[in-house]
Structure 1
């Protein structure tokens, strides 16, 4: 399964991972330029790593992420989240048009929720036991 994950990640990287990761990196840099929004920038860089190499990893809710994460997610959604979600949609369309790209298009669409609400989430390896997440 590790070899299959590697192959899927390489194909993902070539067709859409690098472009979407660049979008998150740009959002992270813009957020870090403004001192107040550094937590948003850190979240954007974390998600950029996940979007760059997603197979074999998943996102889970962080325990204890409460009202501050919710408020931060609303701010993120307004200023950056919807742009990144549109990027996932636009990137998935050409993937759906090819037969081999259909699974990657679905994977791209499954990343929309984390692009809209990144705070209060953690990226974990999928080989962890469910209770360890």
Structure 2
């Protein structure tokens, strides 16, 4: 089921989301200041490529206050808009019975898009 869900996800927009996150990550990595944000964009892109069968967990070690500061900056720079977009598509897909598995993936991506620092994709 994971493979079928991922293939349907890729065909109906998952690959486009992946490309958008990768391009955004590359543009952010051009500047030295944007490298941490670009790496988080790559993390979101990897999750957008194959969301079924992956989990999001907090890191085992304490990331400290720098992670909190970076999450706040991420939130103001664009994280809130990414989160709202995933939340909107999750609601839209959740209305239909057939779209519920894909809605769950959008909600999972929305939680990572809100606070990506200090979390990892497994």
TM-score range, shorter chain: 0.7 to 0.9
SS in 2 for 1:105: helix
What is aligned with 1:129?
Answer: none
Aligned CA RMSD, in angstroms, stands at: 1.8
The structural deviation recorded for 1:36 is 0.9
Is residue 48 from structure 1 mapped to residue 12 from structure 2 by the alignment?
Answer: no
SS in 2 for 1:57: coil
The structural deviation recorded for 1:80 is 1.7
1:1-133 map, 5 Å:
4-62=1-59, 63-124=61-122
Would the alpha carbon gap of residues 114 and 106 (structure 1) be closer, same or farther in structure 2, given more than 3 Å must change? same
Is the 1:20–1:87 contact (alpha carbons within 8 Å) kept by the matching residues of 2?
no
Would the alpha carbon gap of residues 45 and 117 (structure 1) be closer, same or farther in structure 2, given more than 3 Å must change? same
Runs ≥4 residues deviating over 6 A? none
TM-score (norm 2): 0.86
How many residue pairs align between the two structures?
121
**Structure 1: which 5+ residue stretches go unaligned?**
125-133
Deviating more after overlay: 53-62 vs 29-38: 29-38
The structural deviation recorded for 1:94 is 4.0
Is the 2:14–2:48 contact (alpha carbons within 8 Å) kept by the matching residues of 1?
yes
TM-score (norm 1): 0.79
The structural deviation recorded for 1:109 is 1.6
Name the CA distance, whole Å, in 2 between partners of 1:7 and 1:115: 24
The structural deviation recorded for 1:85 is 1.0
